[in-house]
């Protein structure tokens, strides 16, 4: 399993945090350790592309960023 840190766009409120958490946790073998407005840290077996696809489908484009959180 890998720990990934993401910078996430379009997050503005607590409901956004919940939707991003749900999208991340819906991926197999993925646990959202920390989600805040604009960022998340996850532990996952998913590929970065799979993570990005899940977030884009939820309306939250993301890039991987080792400098946040």
Q: Say what the pLDDT of residue 46 is.
A: 94
Rounded to two decimals, the pTM is 0.89
Residue 65 and residue 69: Cα distance in Å, rounded? Answer: 9
Is the predicted pLDDT of residue 69 greater than 60, yes or no?
A: no
Helix axes 14-25, 48-57, angle to 10 degrees: 130
| pLDDT tens column, 29-65 | 999 999 999 999 999 999 999 999 999 999 999 998 7
Domains of the chain: 2-64 (3.30.70.100)
**Beta carbons within 8 Å of 58's beta carbon, 6+ residues apart:** 19, 20, 22, 23
């Amino acid at each position: 399993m890998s720990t990934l840190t993401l910078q996430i766009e379009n997050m503005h409120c607590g409901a956004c945090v919940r939707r991003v958490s749900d999208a991340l946790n819906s991926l197999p073998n993925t646990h959202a350790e920390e989600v805040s407005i604009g960022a998340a840290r996850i532990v996952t077996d998913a590929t970065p592309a799979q993570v990005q696809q899940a977030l884009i489908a939820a309306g939250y484009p993301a890039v991987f960023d080792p400098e946040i959180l």
